[in-house]
Structure 1
Amino acid sequence: MADQPLIILFVKVPARSQVKTRLAAALGEEAALELYQRFVQDILDTLVQTGIPVMICYYPPDNRNAVAGWLGPEQKYLPQEGRDVGERMENAFRQAFNRGFSRVVLIGSDIPDLPAPLIKEALAALPMHDAVIGPARDGGYYLVGFRNDTFFPGVFSGIAWSTGTVFRSTMQAFGKAGQRVHELPLWQDVDTIEDLKDLAARSRRSAFSSSRTMSFLAGFKDAHLSLEGSDAPI
């Protein structure tokens, strides 16, 4: 069978009070909602540039029309199904492998500036490793991936999701199973106002400076977004 890679992008259907709630506490719900939409669109732009097929997995699962209206009918969509994020990730991988994809990586929507070379590195590592993972600064992970013949769903159960122990617990599960894991460089999710300041600071002189996210921040005038110690507010 021909080698068929796939990128799964996990998204939430954008709605007030349902996305980026910690940012909403600082910026307001409308600004947080707009930022989330731009995060996803920037990520999707990067994924499309890789030339690798993308499957958008959306939540809640009964809102396909809303997400397709937002991101376009030309995309491939799959509902997230499961009681928690672990079950939803496991089911997404199973669906992808059942459709014939041989190498699959899954990423979330909190990493708007994740560069395409990291995604390509993840997929390129899978022929030599059982799994690949990208640790996030908050103790979680921003990417996880498997080959169809090394898929290990055990890493999606018994995890205290949305805590600072997710990455450590996942690596322990990999270790107990004897899985060979390629670890990507550390990256930073954007969940809090401090994360957002860090994103703006590191992006001013990068290719991400021309992104939808940075364009919004450049025009967003709010005292919360003054970068301490910097002459470049966002």
Structure 2
Amino acid sequence: MQTTRTLVMIYSLAPSRQARDKQVFGSRNQQAAVTLFDRLEGRIQSVAGKTGLPTLIIYDHQQPGTTFGERYAAAFTQIFSLGYDQVISVGNDIPALSEHHILQAKEGLDSGQTVFGPSRDGGDYLIALSKSAFEEKSFASLPWRTDRLHEALLQLFAKTSPVTCLEYLVDIDTAESLADSMTQALDLTFRKFLKALLKSLAKIEFHGTCQRFSSLLLFAGPRRAPPQNHLCLD
């Protein structure tokens, strides 16, 4: 019998597919993008592990359904069927996401709330739901992967429970969003990795873009202590 009520679900595209679909560094620098998303995935595993909550990684292509919404909803249904009462879902492409955001979401769930972490592109980097508030069909039909998602989530779940929102963070979809993320609080380990990656790209003169990123890294916002290297997988 499952005794821990809450599970952290890392739901995302596989890093290689993210790199191919998002083309953050352009088509000529595919391997650099794979390196970036591999590192981001390792980072979110470490972040989730530090919460002490059970964690499960689910890739989008592993789920049944013809649309992203159907596959994502199926993942929630699967976890609830395992005996969990609460799911905190995060992606693997949010550099400023920390264990504190996840623990804030758990506190909200424990007090009977539904919790969202809005991203600057109109989506959400964190969705924390209780089993009682979740209905698969309506969840699947939301405008996923659009800038209308956050507002649609608020409208849907405000009908069934109190809703609270965390701070806005940036998820990585484009070169511009990567630059935007550098103005947020990144842990020192990831900041050093990103600086090294961008410097290596700047050497091949990627239209000057990576040179601009390298400059941003020198002056980006407050820094946090590096994350521990502890993974919590399925």
TM-score of the two chains, using structure 2 as the length reference: 0.79
Matched, 1:217 2:199: no
Residue of structure 2 in register with 1:75 after alignment: none
Give 1:47's aligned amino acid. A
Give 1:227's aligned amino acid. R
SS of equivalent residue, structure 2 residue 15: coil
SS of equivalent residue, structure 1 residue 60: helix
Farther-moved stretch of structure 1 (46-55 vs 2-11): 2-11
Answer yes or no: is the 8 Å Cα contact 1:135–1:187 preserved in 2: yes
Please state how far the C-alpha of 1:36 moved relative to its aligned partner: 0.8
Answer yes or no: is the 8 Å Cα contact 1:155–1:174 preserved in 2: no
Matched, 1:98 2:99: no
Please state how far the C-alpha of 1:16 moved relative to its aligned partner: 5.9
Q: Deviations over 1:143-179 (max 9, x none)?
A: 112122222335523333222111112212223x343
Farther-moved stretch of structure 1 (215-224 vs 83-92): 215-224
Please state how far the C-alpha of 1:99 moved relative to its aligned partner: 0.6
Question: Which whole-Å CA distance do the structure 1 matches of 2:99 and 2:128 have between them?
Answer: 15
Q: Which has the bigger relative contact order, CA under 8 A and spacing at least 6?
A: 2
State the Cα RMSD in Å: 2.6
1:40-189 paired onto structure 2 within 5 Å? 40-61=41-62, 80-153=63-136, 155-175=138-158, 177-189=159-171
Answer yes or no: is the 8 Å Cα contact 1:141–1:167 preserved in 2: yes
Query: Structure 1 residues 214, 194: CA separation in 2 closer, same or farther (over 3 Å shift)?
Result: farther
**What is the aligned residue count?**
211
Query: Structure 1 residues 26, 225: CA separation in 2 closer, same or farther (over 3 Å shift)?
Result: farther
Question: Which whole-Å CA distance do the structure 1 matches of 2:139 and 2:194 have between them?
Answer: 35
Query: Structure 1 residues 147, 31: CA separation in 2 closer, same or farther (over 3 Å shift)?
Result: same
Question: Which whole-Å CA distance do the structure 1 matches of 2:162 and 2:217 have between them?
Answer: 45
Please state how far the C-alpha of 1:97 moved relative to its aligned partner: 1.1
Query: Structure 1 residues 158, 11: CA separation in 2 closer, same or farther (over 3 Å shift)?
Result: closer
SS of equivalent residue, structure 1 residue 189: coil
Unaligned runs of 5+ in 2: 203-207, 221-234
Matched, 1:37 2:23: no
Give 1:224's aligned amino acid. T
Matched, 1:232 2:210: no
